[in-house]
Amino acid sequence: MKDFQEEEPFRLQADKPKNWFQALLQGAGGLLARGRDAFGKRAGHQQTETNHGEVNQMSNYEGLFSEFKGLPGGIIQSYHTIQKEVGYLTEEAILAAAKVFNVPAKNAYEVASFYSYFSTKPRGKNIIRICESAPCHVAGANEVIAALEQALGIKVGDSTSDGKFALELTECVGQCQDTPVITVNGQPFGNITADSVSEVLAQF
């Protein structure tokens, strides 16, 4: 008999016990940690080894955070700083933030995982974002995506293997007089065409 659950399109992992009988059969043998990996779990995102900052020690992070320490609500601002330095929010950075801002790791992580500009997984140094909101969409965002994917040899959501670029999608970045728009490290580039993509990349 075919297993009906394995046919579900969104059921990614087949090792889930089908029911409590099976769960019990796994018994103590099933007591191994089978948690998810926070830093690579979203579909379409591949893990890169990139880590271009040298800030790895908890103490260094606390140094980076110290500027915001007394600032109420400063955790988001401090995450911006960390990302500028390290490219993404490492587990150590999140735990350090929790310490500096005197909140449980839970709160620090909940914030880090909410905002689309924060990433909790390694990614390329220069972050390219392609606006795919409707005005850019009708102006040819799909062609820009295709051109960038081709030029970089990666898919949206991935980073180049040299760790130089990460390719992400974004919604409107507020430069809609010049659709289609991309940003690189937050800097906007308008009226992008398949041809002008390489010119932009050459600047980084």
Minimum gap (Å) between residue 198 Cβ and another protein: 24
Minimum gap (Å) between residue 94 Cβ and another protein: 7
Task: Give the span between the Cα atoms of 42 and 152, in whole angstroms.
Answer: 21
Q: Nearer to another protein by C-beta: 109 or 165?
A: 109
Q: Should residue 176 be labelled a site residue for ligand FES when binding is judged by CB under 6 A?
A: yes
For residues 131 and 181, the answer to whether their CB atoms sit within 8 Å is yes
* Binding partner of residue 181 among ligand FES, another protein, none, CB cut-off 5 to 8 Å per kind: ligand FES
Task: Give the span between the Cα atoms of 181 and 190, in whole angstroms.
Answer: 4
For residues 18 and 5, the answer to whether their CB atoms sit within 8 Å is yes
Question: How is 124-187 classified by DSSP, letter by letter?
Answer: -SEEEEEE-SHHHHHTTHHHHHHHHHHHHTS-TT-B-TTSSEEEEEES--S-GGG-S-EEETTE
Which one of 50, 83, 119, 133 is in contact with ligand FES (CB under 6 A)? 133
> Judged by CB under 6 A, which stretch of 15-23, 29-37, 119-127, 166-174 contacts ligand FES?
166-174
Q: Should residue 192 be labelled a site residue for ligand FES when binding is judged by CB under 6 A?
A: no
Q: Should residue 136 be labelled a site residue for ligand FES when binding is judged by CB under 6 A?
A: yes
Q: Nearer to ligand FES by C-beta: 38 or 169?
A: 169
